[in-house]
Amino acid sequence: MVKRNSIQRVWIAALLIVTLYSPMSHAAGSCGAMPFVNPVTDICWRCIFPLFIGPAPVATMGQIDSGAANGYPPPVCVCPTATPPWFRVGIGTVFWEPARIAEAVRTPWCSPTLGGISLASPDIAVAGRGDNRTTHEQRESIAFYHVHWFVYPVMAWFNMMVNQHCVETEQFDVGFLSELDPMWNNDEMTFILNPEAVLFNNPVAQAACAADCVAASAGFPLDSLFWCLGCQVGLHPLSGTVKPHEGGLASSTVAIQRLHAILHRSLVALNVSTPAAMCIAQPAPIMQKSWYKTQLLRPIPTPLTANPYGRSTTLRGMGKEFPINGEDFSYLIWRRRVCCTS
């Protein structure tokens, strides 16, 4: 295990060095030079808590869990295996895992997570350019962000769990680039993935989102109101266009949550957050908001706190956005992890 993880660290370091010094990486862009994400100082390590063994909390470190909606595993669990004796016995465990990084950027291909480099040549045509503007027809502020989704198995790198069943074991990788998605810039085309959106485009459904805002402010949002994003703009359309634009932190979090919903609908993102998924990840075509939290990494890291999806950014967004180098955002995605450790 130690040898394998050492090889992973060397491979990741080599990848970042090659990327940083390639001609493509120094292409002109507006996100500017930023320091690479430091997994030691930039990550809210106490946000791994609360830790549960079965339904009993072992340590909380002042953090809260969404277990009331998602449940807890039994203290002793059994999972099937592909080799004799065809099962394994373990201990039901719950914790929060930092597993993904999502970037919301105005300049296509720009990556604040990787030091402000460009992931591709700026000359490559993409559908939509990031922008914050006010339309003359409606006098409404509109934002558009591209989103990059990275696999980020940081707990495996640090050997923080002795059991491989309980942490992300993939290598650092690019999971999704919205520049390659023709629907990300077309609100009407997103109807293909979420035709149910037509049911919630009415005052009654939107008024119900007030309850989601209250729940997200007190703890975690209501999964039953899946068309809402708490105190933020609604989930639909599943595109990079956010209106009204209330600020960079608010609009960028909406963009990444919408992309996350797309990944769930496409069965790329899976359920690892409930007792039913403690042995193997389960398909979850509708994203459950209470499974996730976000932590700001760039432009200004917030290593002391992570916030549930839908929580208001009005107070925590102050001072987190500034001109030129501070208008592109990178977030660490925390997910509730239920597993059978052995």
Cβ contact 271:282 at 8 Å: yes
Supply φ then ψ for residue 95, to 5 degrees.
Answer: -155, 180
Determine the residue type at 135: T
Identify the pLDDT of residue 139.
Answer: 61
Identify the pLDDT of residue 255.
Answer: 96
How far, CA to CA in Å, does 216 sit from each of 57, 102, 145, 203, 320?
22, 20, 24, 20, 21
Distance (Å, whole) CA 270 – CA 292: 12
**What six digits make up the tokens of 313?**
């950014």
Distance (Å, whole) CA 113 – CA 328: 10
Distance (Å, whole) CA 179 – CA 126: 5
For the full predicted model, state whether its pTM sits above 0.85: yes
Cβ contact 245:142 at 8 Å: yes
- Map the chain to HEC letters: CHHHHHHHHHHHHHHHHHHHHCHHHHCCCCCCCCCCCCCCCCCCHHHHCCEEECCEEEECCCCCCCHHHHCCCCCEEEEECCCCCCEEEEEEEEEEEEEEEEEEECCCCEECCCCCEECCCCCCCCCCCCEEEECCCCCCEEEECEEEEEECCHHHHCCCCCCHHHCCCCCCEEEEEHHHCCCCCCCCHHHHCCHHHHHHCCHHHHHCHHHHHHHHHHCCCCCCCCCCCCCCCCCCCCCCEECCCCCHHHHHHHHHHHHHHHHHHCCCCEECCCHHHCCCCEECCCCCHHHEEEEEEECCCCCCCCEECCCCCCCCCCCCCECCCECCEEEEEEEEEEEEEC
Identify the pLDDT of residue 134.
Answer: 52
Chain centre to alpha carbon of residue 90 = 29
**What six digits make up the tokens of 99?**
């597993």
Measured over the CA atoms of residue 176, residue 178, residue 180 and residue 184, the dihedral's sign is positive
Strand partners, 330: 103, 298
Q: Going residue by residue through the chain, which has 342 residues, state the pLDDT in tens, using 9 for 90 and above.
A: 444 444 444 444 444 433 433 333 333 345 667 888 899 999 999 999 999 999 999 999 999 999 888 999 999 999 999 889 999 999 999 999 999 999 999 989 999 998 888 888 766 767 555 555 554 445 668 999 999 999 998 988 877 665 667 877 778 899 999 999 988 988 888 888 788 888 888 889 999 999 999 999 999 999 999 999 999 988 999 999 998 888 899 999 999 999 999 999 999 999 999 999 999 999 999 999 999 999 999 999 999 999 999 999 988 888 888 887 788 999 999 999 999 998
Distance (Å, whole) CA 130 – CA 123: 15
Cβ contact 89:78 at 8 Å: yes
Residue from 101, 271, 244, 270 nearest 177 by CA: 101
Identify the pLDDT of residue 269.
Answer: 96
Identify the pLDDT of residue 35.
Answer: 85
Distance (Å, whole) CA 186 – CA 22: 32
- Map 24-59 to HEC letters: HHHCCCCCCCCCCCCCCCCCCHHHHCCEEECCEEEE
